[in-house]
Chain A
Amino acid sequence: MSNPQQLRYSKEHEWLSGAEDGASTVGITEHAANALGDVVFVQLPEVGDSVTAGETCGELESTKSVSDLYSPVSGEVTEVNEEVVNDPSLVNSAPFEGGWLFKVRITDEPADLLSADEYTAFTAG
């Protein structure tokens, strides 16, 4: 699996895109999706919610487990992916594309987000 170069990554296995119209897109990585197995339920924050870097803002359920969703940055949620709520399997089939989770207008971001190469090394370790 390859992690797109243009994204940045958290150690909780979320990815973050560059800002577009002032908002960045957040999803979980393919590594995380593979570790979860088939995702069957996605609970996302609501539009207008404030999220805080490193804190939980939703949850992902798979066949075997339930996992918290962490926000990689602090900010305000501007959009959520309704398609992935209706069809959680998008997280498995297209984690970096159609399986995106929410968009956030960033107010603060931690200094320790990883590059694609750093994240690849992190998950290999």
Chain B
Amino acid sequence: MSSTELRRTALDATHRALGATMTDFAGWDMPLRYGSEREEHVAVRTRAGLFDLSHMGEITVTGPQAAELLNFALVGNIGSVKPGRARYTMICREDGGILDDLIVYRLGEAEAGSSHYMVVANASNAQVVLDALTERAAGFDAEVRDDRDAYALLAVQGPESPGILASLTDADLDGLKYYAGLPGTVAGVPALIARTGYTGEDGFELFVKPEHAVGLWEALTKAGEGAGLVPCGLSCRDTLRLEAGMPLYGNELSTALTPFDAGLGRVVKFEKEGDFVGRAALTEAAERAASQPPRVLVGLVAEGRRVPRAGYPVVAGGEVIGEVTSGAPSPTLGKPIAMAYVDPAHAAEGTEGVGVDIRGSHEPYEVVALPFYKRQK
């Protein structure tokens, strides 16, 4: 991607004032880290972290047939999502290849007989998702609207996040479950408050108007001072999601894979009403996965200190048996970890003799079940 015309979020000046190291992420100039990414990671695991995620792509879908459109366009059963709840789902091509993974929030009814959804796509795929939804909307009484510039997105993640947010809002956070969202007021500004995240911790994502982003960031920073909240960049977001075993589009997910190849066949709901894009190909993919199991997404934990990176071959007995999709030093485990697709014969937890080819040297790795980290509730 060309770096000539990077997009900047509403919090750009705030990041620079904090001395952030910035990076080009999907055409956006985003904070990579403010200080040590390892300390930011630990803050989210033990206290709280504040993220700017305004690069994420919001698409609003409304109308009397909004649910029918989303049921047709996506692989999940969006019709069964109740107002105020959210669903992790995917959008696939006709051939079953994954175009993106998404969170769909069902908001309250704007008017009788019309429903209202917000689809949140990855920054790198937002245009693709918008184009696909727009094209697939033909014939449905529903409107697809590009709302990427209508929202800034801030996230507060970590065990201290409920207390920090509670000091700034009257919204019923105790009643807000994981994967739920409700409109409210935070620090005096209107926000969609969602209990979602990508860190493996409890936390909230706050969708607000861009002009309210700086004030909200400052209010959260002040409210979190005593609890040890720190600003966090995309670098620690990546290690947090990796420890939590969450896939990242472009690493674990791509158009070359169906949800069944990614071990996420559960997101495909064949039993829902009506046809949907990719149904025939995905039916075949499900049958293929059952009769000839594809490579399995597993966790790898290093015995040494060298870090596996995306694209490195996984080896056993001198043969290549898989490929690393994401790898990083894990701050929580204190060892390098990776996610990798490996042949089923080598995918069982504790399989002996598996290694990663790290620039020519075969380093031993332990095969483990995902996730690497699960928070204590």
Chain A residues engaging chain B, CB cutoff 8 angstroms: 34-35, 37-38, 40-41, 61, 63-64, 66, 92
A37 touches which one: B33, B306, B307, B359 (CB < 8 A)?
Answer: B33
A34-B21, A38-B36 given; A63·B306 CB < 8 A: no
In the complex, chain A residues whose CB is within 8 Å of the CB of B235: 37, 63-64
Interface of A: prevailing SS = mixed
Minimum CB–CB distance from A87 to chain B (whole Å) comes to: 11
Give the nearest-CB partner of A43 in chain B.
B306
A40 touching B305 by the CB < 8 A rule?
A: yes
Interface assignment of B252: CB less than 8 Å from any CB of chain A: no
Nearest A-chain residue to B39, judged by Cβ: A38
Q: Please, could you name 27 A-B residue pairs with CB atoms under 8 Å apart, sorted by A?
A: A35-B21, A37-B32, A37-B37, A37-B235, A38-B36, A38-B37, A38-B38, A38-B329, A40-B305, A40-B307, A40-B336, A41-B305, A41-B307, A61-B306, A61-B307, A61-B329, A63-B38, A63-B239, A63-B328, A63-B329, A64-B32, A64-B235, A64-B328, A66-B307, A66-B309, A66-B359, A92-B36
B contacts with A, residue count (CB < 8 A)? 16
Identity of the chain A residue whose Cβ is nearest the Cβ of B233 in the assembled complex: A37
Using an 8 Å CB-CB cutoff, how does the interface string of B6-39 with A read, 1 for contact, 0 for none? 0000000000000001000000000011001110
A79 to B140, CA, bound (A): 73
A92 and B305 CA atoms in complex are apart in Å by 17
The winner among A35, A40, A41, A92 for most chain B CB atoms within 10 A is A40
Among B33, B38, B328, B359, max chain A CB count under 10 A is at: B38
Residues of the A chain whose Cβ atoms lie less than 8 Å from the Cβ of B305: 40-41
A-side contacts of B307, CB under 8 Å? 40-41, 61, 66
A103 to B197, CA, bound (A): 47
C-alpha gap A64/B32 in the complex (Å): 10
Cα distance A38–B35 when bound, in Å?
Answer: 9
